[in-house]
Amino acid sequence: MKITMAHGSGGKATSELISRIFAANFKNPVLSAMEDAAVVPGAGTLAVTTDSFVVTPLFFPGGDIGRLSVCGTVNDLLMSGAVPQYLTCGFIIEEGAESDDLERMARSMAETAREAGVTIVAGDTKVVEGGGGVYINTSGVGFVPPGRRVSASLCREGDAVLVSGYLGEHHAAVLSARMGIENRIRSDCAPLGEAVESLFQNGVRVHALRDATRGGLATVLNEFAAASGCCIALREESLPVSAPVSGFCGILGLDPLYMGNEGKFAAVVDREDAEKALAVLKASQYGENAAVVGSVVPGEAGTLLVRTSIGGTRIVPELYGEGLPRIC
C-alpha cells in the first residue's frame, strides 16, 4: 500500500493506518486507551527529552530509522542518569511511502523499546506531500534515582575518560550505504541502558556521561571541557576504532573522533574507579570494546588535546561546519 495524503486526513484512512501499523506494534494499556494524553504513574525527579530523526537511507546495515528513534531518545535519558520509562512518537510521512516499510519501522521500534525497557505511550501521524520520506520524532520521560547526579560540568582534574566501544561505526555505515560502498561496517545503533546502569550499580563514581552522536567523541569531550572548565587529554593509540572503519576514514579523509555514533557514550569517572568502570563496561552488552582513552589533566580550560603516537600534541577543536570529505 502506498501512503497518500488521505492517510493524513484525520479520517478513516488515518485511524486505519494508526491501528494497523502503530497501535498494533506499540500495544500496551496506556496507549490502547487512545486518550489525548497518556496518564502514567510516577514520582520523584523527572528527566524529559525529545529528538527528531531524519536519516537517509531509512534502512541501513545494523539498523533503521525506527530503532534509531528509540535508541536516540532512550540514550539521551540515560546520559542524565535517568532510568527511561515512557516514549512518545510522532511520524511525519511523505505521500508515496510504503506501508510495508512503515510496518518494518514500527516493528523495529517495538523490539528496541522492549529491549530498552520503555513503553511507547503516545503517538501522532501526519502525512505531507513529498517523495515517500519518513521522519520520526520521539520524546522520552525517565526518573532519576535519588542521590544520582551526573553533569557535563562535573569533570575534575585526574578523572578518567572512557568510551564504551568502537568509534564511527554508525556514521561509516550510513555513509557507505549512501555511497553504494560494500563493506562489513554496521551501525552501532543500540540502547545503552545495561551498560550505563551497571556503572551505577557497581558503585562507579560517574561524573559525566554523554552519548557520542552527531559530531562524535571530539564534540562531546569539547563540551565536557567547556562546561567543567577543564582540559582533557586523549591518547591517540588508545582510541578504539575497528579496522574497517579506520580504512574507510583513511580513504575519505574522515576523522573517527568526529564521526557520529548511535550506541556509544563517553564516561568521565573518578580516577580510582577507572579500572572498575572499564571492567564493568567490557562485561556489559555492546561494551566489549570499551577503553580508557584519556584523562582530565592540568592545562588550558576548555581544551581537548590528543597525545599522538610519535609523542606530539595536537588540539582537537570543535567541529566547524559539516565534516566534508577531502578532495585528494
Q: How many CA atoms lie within 13 A of 113 on its CB side?
A: 26
Q: Name the grid cell of 129.
A: 506531500
The position carrying cell 589533566 is: 297
Stretch that binds another protein, among 20-28, 144-152, 219-227, 303-311 (CB under 8 A): 303-311
Q: Does 325 contact another protein by CB under 8 A?
A: yes
Stretch that binds another protein, among 42-50, 58-66, 203-211, 316-324 (CB under 8 A): 316-324
Least distance from C-beta 171 to another protein, angstroms? Answer: 14
Least distance from C-beta 315 to another protein, angstroms? Answer: 5
CB 64 within 8 A of CB 106: no
Dihedral, 200, 201, 204, 208 alpha carbons, nearest 10: -10
Nearest CB to another protein, comparing residues 257 and 291:
257
Residues sharing a CB contact under 8 Å with residue 85, sequence separation 6 or more, in sequence order:
40, 42, 118, 119, 141, 142, 143
Q: Name the grid cell of 3.
A: 501512503
| DSSP code, position 137 | E
Q: Which of residues 165-194 bind another protein (CB under 8 A)?
A: 179
Least distance from C-beta 308 to another protein, angstroms? Answer: 5
Q: Does 311 contact another protein by CB under 8 A?
A: yes
Binding mask 254-273 for another protein (x = CB under 8 A): --------------------
Q: Does 312 contact another protein by CB under 8 A?
A: yes
Least distance from C-beta 179 to another protein, angstroms? Answer: 6
Least distance from C-beta 255 to another protein, angstroms? Answer: 8
Nearest CB to another protein, comparing residues 229 and 325:
325
Q: Which of residues 195-254 bind another protein (CB under 8 A)?
A: 252-253
The vertex-63 CA angle with 13 and 109, nearest 5°, equals: 40
Q: Does 322 contact another protein by CB under 8 A?
A: yes
CA distance 160 to 277: 10
Least distance from C-beta 313 to another protein, angstroms? Answer: 5
Nearest CB to another protein, comparing residues 104 and 307:
307
Q: Does 309 contact another protein by CB under 8 A?
A: yes
Nearest CB to another protein, comparing residues 80 and 222:
222
> Which H/E stretch holds residue 86?
strand 83-94
Least distance from C-beta 259 to another protein, angstroms? Answer: 14
CB 116 within 8 A of CB 71: yes
Q: Is 150 exposed, middle or buried (0-12, 13-18, 19+ CB in 10 A)?
A: buried
Nearest CB to another protein, comparing residues 243 and 310:
310
Helices (H) and strands (E) in the chain, counts: 10, 13
Q: Does 313 contact another protein by CB under 8 A?
A: yes
Least distance from C-beta 253 to another protein, angstroms? Answer: 8
| DSSP code, position 210 | E
Q: Is 318 exposed, middle or buried (0-12, 13-18, 19+ CB in 10 A)?
A: middle
CA distance 291 to 265: 11
- Among residues 44, 131, 298, 321, which is the contact residue for another protein, using CB under 8 A? 321
Q: Name the grid cell of 67.
A: 530503532
- Among residues 9, 201, 238, 308, which is the contact residue for another protein, using CB under 8 A? 308
Where do contacts with another protein occur on this chain (CB under 8 A)?
179, 252-253, 306-315, 317, 320-322, 324-328
